[in-house]
A and B are shown apart, each in its own frame.
Chain A
């Protein structure tokens, strides 16, 4: 393992502009979270044409082009910066592939007040995600029944509740990062999260099967 890989994110960021491998390493470290973001927010009409890896590939190239513009030097803001680039890439890809459709469908609702707009997580794409039906071939892959129930429960929530749960659990954002993305106070983000959990639990509880198992 070379010395570069052992460094912390903050140590690496110092060399972001002069060492090309730094971006690759940092991108690699954040990849699981960025991947989930791309997968959850990719329009289902693009399935078969694009997958989250394509989105990340484009976002990576875009990040390397824009690297000189990254100003702040702490790792959390760097992750949020990468996240914005992935969001921007998603918007661009949706425009390119869906054209007028995307605008008609009114998908460009901002959830990302801090910068370029990322498509909102909608129940349909979330549902598909949880069903693992992102590719036409996936009908051969069995998903656990639990996912279906979870997907239905999430669909039963308001967009606000769903968003905060997805950010915290699927995209693995910290409360502080959620507050920055949603542009609200840390305290408000925390309260919103706990309330959303309580409402999700209430929806899940109506399902007797879930109740028995948990």
Chain B
């Protein structure tokens, strides 16, 4: 959870023989583990940790990053003719945990769309596929200004896909990554969308979005201009009021989308920064509604992004229950990450991550960044309460408080300590039994101490004057007066 953890914690599945390993290899292992979690570890940090061979680290680590970047990703197999349904795939525009998104030409209507191809299912069982089609159809009925519209759902040779509106947006995860690493020379090479991500990072920080709506990644001349003369912050302390407001606005849009979907009986189940898309005109789009359920847990883990998804999951999900408040929680953690520029819960290890989410709350926002407005902190705190009963009961309530913050009105109160204690007792009966017994023991102990302390002023000793003798072991402790 804290920064030290993410640096030092890496447990390979095998530890025997590590003593013999080249120290550069051991550091490389950790460096790679962090790259694979989507972090941007600094090479200098590793060079500093290995002063004898700092030059070697500096020489080799960029190569490691390049290898990792070029790694093939398990994708849905492409159809050999590049045609899915009535769409001709044009180019790859994104890769998520659950599939690959292509820009495509929908030939029947002559328009550009986005096609998401999902991994094929294994085995001879066709139930997963039927479940996908059923669940995805429900999600496709959603129509909201902040939800990526789905046009078609289908299946081609056992491979599920859906066709969506081509939104000129980039995932909040990538924008945050850019803000996080800005200033440092990234491990990323140049890519087509980099300028666009830069623009979004700039827009979020400055609160200035281009007024031209629909300016997508292709609108590069405009996209590039804000970069010049920009001071690049290296830490969250350089983020200011316009950034907090921009993030609150993103949260508001997403919360409104959630409220609408919940009213239609659809839970998102996988809210995380990667599923909140931003565009250069300030538009916010929530993607992949209900897809987590459509695909099922098994398929979710198959794509290798289980940890990326677990990180934002509400604790009650691990006990098998999910409702609107679970989506509220995941959106809360998404905002938390946007405000602190680091995940609220961070562990590459599944089991440890689960334990953390179940047992703890993330560190208070303002201890990580004292500049975050207190009201915004209150909102994020309330949305990420481990106990669903203490959270906003609906995404609409969450949205109302974000709106209040943006309009400078007072936001709802923080859950009181007493309610938190009750909730803790409800969730952890053992803890509460211990707490109550400790409490009772304290009272009993207090009673006896009182008897003991008061003893000298009771008969048989005279109230005033010197004692005829010192009673053994019955003298009050020197620093305690009878008023105790």
Q: Which residues of A contact B (CB under 8 A)?
A: 1-2, 5-6, 8, 24-25, 27-29, 31-32, 35-36, 39-40, 48, 51-53, 56-57, 60-61, 75-76, 129-130, 134-138, 140-142, 144-147, 150-151, 165, 169-170, 172, 174-177, 179, 185-187, 190-191, 193-194, 197-198, 200-201, 204, 210, 213-214
Contacts of B230 in A (CB 8 A): none
Identify which of B60-68, B166-174, B214-222, B392-400 touches chain A.
B60-68
B123: interface (CB < 8 Å): yes
Choice from B63, B80, B298, B299 contacting A197 with Cβ under 8 Å:
B63
A residues near B79, Cβ cutoff 8 Å: 135, 137
The yes or no answer to B354 lying at the interface (CB within 8 A) is: yes
Neighbouring A residues of B165 by C-beta, 8 Å: none
B323 at the binding interface (Cβ < 8 Å): no
B-chain residues with CB within 8 Å of residue A194 when the two chains form the complex:
22, 24-25, 28, 60
- Shortest CB-to-CB span from A11 to chain B, Å, is 10
Write the chain B residue with the least CB distance to A211: B62
Q: Is the CB–CB distance between B82 and A140 below 8 Å?
A: yes
Name the contact of A28 in the complex, choosing from B82, B91, B302, B318 (C-beta under 8 A).
B302
**Shortest CB–CB separation between residue B81 and chain A, in angstroms?**
6
Interface CB pairs A-B, < 8 A, 29:
A1-B297, A6-B354, A24-B122, A28-B299, A29-B301, A31-B74, A53-B77, A53-B120, A56-B122, A57-B122, A61-B123, A129-B72, A130-B70, A135-B78, A140-B89, A141-B78, A141-B92, A144-B191, A150-B67, A169-B32, A170-B72, A177-B14, A186-B17, A190-B21, A197-B63, A197-B64, A200-B67, A204-B63, A214-B187
Q: Which residue of B lies closest to A209 (CB)?
A: B189
**Which residue of B22, B298, B317 is within 8 Å of A190 (Cβ)?**
B22
Look across to chain B and name the residue whose beta carbon is closest to the beta carbon of A76: B13
B74 to A36, Cβ gap below 8 A?
yes
How far, in angstroms, from A125 to B13 measured CA to CA in the complex? 29
Tell me the complex Cα distance, A195–B185, Å.
25
Interface residues of B in 26-78 (CB under 8 A from A): 28-29, 32, 36, 56, 59-60, 62-74, 76-78
CA distance A137 to B117 in the complex (A): 15
CB–CB A140/B66 < 8 A: no
**Cβ-closest 7 pairs across A and B:** A186-B17, A176-B14, A137-B82, A32-B304, A187-B20, A28-B302, A35-B74
Instruction: Produce 1/0 per residue, B179-210, CB < 8 A to A.
Output: 00000000101110000000000000000000
B451 in the interface, Cβ–Cβ < 8 Å? no
Interchain CB contact under 8 A, A190 and B25: yes
User: Which of chain B's residues 295-338 have a Cβ closer than 8 Å to chain A?
Assistant: 297-299, 301-304, 306, 317-318, 320
Q: How far is the CA of A129 from the CA of B28 in the complex (A)?
A: 24
A1, B320: Cβ atoms closer than 8 Å: yes
Which chain B residue lies CB-closest to A177?
A: B14
Chain A residue at minimum C-beta to C-beta distance from B188: A213
CA distance A156 to B22 in the complex (A): 24
Residue of A nearest to B125 (CB): A24
A144 to B92: give the CA distance in the assembly, Å. Answer: 11
Q: How many contacts A-B (CB < 8 Å)?
A: 174
Contacts of A6 in B (CB 8 A): 318, 354
Known: A197-B28, A197-B60. 6 other contacts (CB 8 A): A6-B354, A39-B72, A170-B67, A176-B17, A194-B28, A214-B62
Any A CB within 8 A of the CB of B126: no
Given the complex of chains A and B, what is the CA–CA distance between A89 and B248 in angstroms? 52
Q: Give the residue of B60, B120, B189, B302 whose beta carbon is less than 8 angstroms from that of A146.
A: B189
- Give bound CA distance, A180 to B158, whole Å: 36
| Cβ of B185 to closest chain A Cβ, rounded Å | 8
A188 — nearest CB in chain B belongs to which residue?
B20
B477 smallest CB distance to A (angstroms): 53
Asked if B5 is at the interface (CB within 8 A of a chain A CB), the reply is: no
Q: Is the beta-carbon distance between B70 and A147 smaller than 8 angstroms? A: yes
A146 and B16 within 8 A (CB): no
**A105–B368 Cα gap in the complex (Å)?**
60
Inter-chain contact B66/A146, CB cutoff 8 Å? yes
B390 interface contact, C-beta 8 A = no
Q: How far is the CA of A18 from the CA of B67 in the complex (A)?
A: 40
Chain A: CB-nearest residue to B74: A35
Interface residues of B in 1-26 (CB under 8 A from A): 12-14, 16-18, 20-22, 24-25
| Residues on the B chain within 8 Å of A39, using CB | 72
Report if B90 contacts A (CB, 8 A): yes
Write out the residue numbers on chain A whose beta carbons fall within 8 Å of the beta carbon of B63.
Answer: 197, 200-201, 204, 214
Assembly CA distance A177 to B66 (angstroms): 22
A135 adjacent to B80 (CB under 8 Å): yes
Q: B347-365: which have CB < 8 Å to A?
A: 350-351, 354
Most buried by A among B63, B67, B301: B63
Give Cα distance in the complex from A147 to B73, angstroms: 13
Q: Which residue of B lies closest to A7 (CB)?
A: B351
> In the complex, what distance in Å separates the CA atom of A172 from the CA atom of B28?
13
Judging by beta carbons under 8 Å apart, are B66 and A214 in contact?
yes
Instruction: Please pick, from B20, B64, B302, B318, the residue contacting A1 in the complex, using a CB distance under 8 A.
Output: B318
- Residues of chain A contacted by B60 (CB below 8 angstroms): 194, 197-198, 201
B214 to chain A, nearest CB (A): 23
Tell me, in angstroms, the Cα distance from A170 to B65 when the chains sit together. 12
CB atoms of A27 and B66 under 8 A apart: no
- B13 partner, pick from A60, A75, A135, A198, beta carbons under 8 A: A75
Q: Which residue of A lies closest to B77 (CB)?
A: A51
Compute how far the CA of A136 lies from the CA of B123 in the bound complex, rounded to whole angstroms.
26
Query: Contacts A56-B122, A142-B91; is A186 near B16 (CB within 8 Å)?
Result: yes
CA–CA, A176 to B60, complex, Å? 21
Q: Which residue of chain A has the shortest Cβ distance to B59 in the bound complex?
A: A201
B86 to chain A: closest CB distance in Å? Answer: 16
Q: How far is the CB of B56 from chain A (nearest CB, A)?
A: 8
Q: Tell me the nearest residue of chain A to B120, going by C-beta.
A: A53
Which residue on B lies nearest to A35, using beta carbons?
Answer: B74
- Chain A neighbourhood of B82, CB < 8 A: 137-138, 140
- Residues from chain B with a CB closer than 8 A to the CB of A130 are 70, 72
